[in-house]
Structure 1
């Protein structure tokens, strides 16, 4: 077979394979629209449903302790402090782990809860999404990846925890905490000034 023809066939096959992959962009929740409802079990095996918190602001945080970007924000105390500040202002905080069971980063529910507790995490609930259904519905691509749902159930923020895309804890004081800023806007009755930002971190280890 001529080289050019062989290359064309390979390229065509690659394109077909790529096209067959599920598109997060097409399936993703969209800022300004209703946030997809879901029910997941927490690390104690109890069901938690997003719509049970209607009337409250809810932060969704995609997490994975195996990711250095997640460890940056937990080991430094930044994520626990952001959680505590939110919860002190009657915000619900749901940490979600969409890591597949087959991944080397996967932690059993009790181990995940222990890891977060050791780092003084104070999320309202820590939820298991091993099948990746909720992560795919929201288009969560990285850990961390942050989303905020307003009391009416509308998604009002999607993106990064802050403005400096690094795994260096030393960058945290210099960065703008987008989640804190968005929650401040909501508390003041203002539209979220930066409703969409570029999330950064490790890729979500989907099934």
Structure 2
């Protein structure tokens, strides 16, 4: 009887170790993967025409996506309270500083009731920040998680979509630079 209990405890322990290791391996693959199948992601997909929109920037000026027709656009949805968003802002700033004349960054903030201008100043973000005050654009783009980033080509077609924070290397790769 004792041998059966010891064997059962041993098997249970062994199964637990195998399951934990498998879960850790899957987590690492997800964290390290940049080849997520974009057709499996929720919301608007790659190959679709990016819907035009109109929002105010931090200075109160109206900005339209169509104002940037003929240019590459990185369209990013984010919030001040979002840890992955905070993580990617320094890379976005570096990308903007290095490639700002080749790729337009439009960072759509989804929580404009917070101090977005103060947050941008604190993060040293000088790229254009747009305020989605009525959630119209985030609904139009079917945003379910943030950050979500779309790369839009010169013809206005979505060429890449990414959920979660992006590194500068991935920004450069997906922008074609």
Q: Which runs of 5+ in 1 are unaligned?
A: 1-23, 164-171, 188-207
- 1:83/1:179 CA distance change after superposition, 3 Å: same
Residue 105 of structure 2: which of 93, 98, 102 is its match? Answer: 93
- Mark the CA change 1:42 to 1:66 in structure 2 (over 3 Å): closer, same or farther: same
Q: Distance in 2 between matches of 1:56 and 1:48?
A: 15
CA contact (8 A) 2:106 2:130 kept: yes
- Residue 112 of structure 1: aligned partner: 116
Q: What is the TM-score with the length of structure 1 in the denominator? A: 0.59
Instruction: Name the Cα RMSD after superposition.
Output: 2.3
Task: Name the one with the larger helix percent.
Answer: 2
- Structure 2-normalised TM-score? 0.68
Determine if contact 1:40/1:128 at 8 Å carries over to the other structure: yes
Deviation at 1:48, TM superposition (A): 0.3
2:174 to 177, 182, 192: 182
Instruction: Give the one of 132, 135, 146 matched to 1:132.
Output: 135
* CA positional deviation for 1:161: 5.6
Residue-by-residue CA offset, 1:141-160 (whole Å, 9 max, x unaligned): 22211111111111111113
SS in 1 for 2:71: coil
Q: Which residue of 1 aligns with 2:159?
A: 156
SS of the aligned residue for 1:143 comes to: coil
Cα deviation, 1:30-57, whole Å, max 9, x if unaligned, reads 2112110001111121110000110100
Rg larger in 1 or in 2? 2
Partners of 2:71 and 2:154 within 8 A in 1 = yes
Residue matched to 2:59 = 44
Note the residue ranges of structure 2 that are not aligned, 5 or more in a row: 1-40
4+ runs of 1 displaced by more than 6 Å?
none
Q: Does the 8 Å CA contact 1:37/1:50 hold for their aligned counterparts?
A: yes
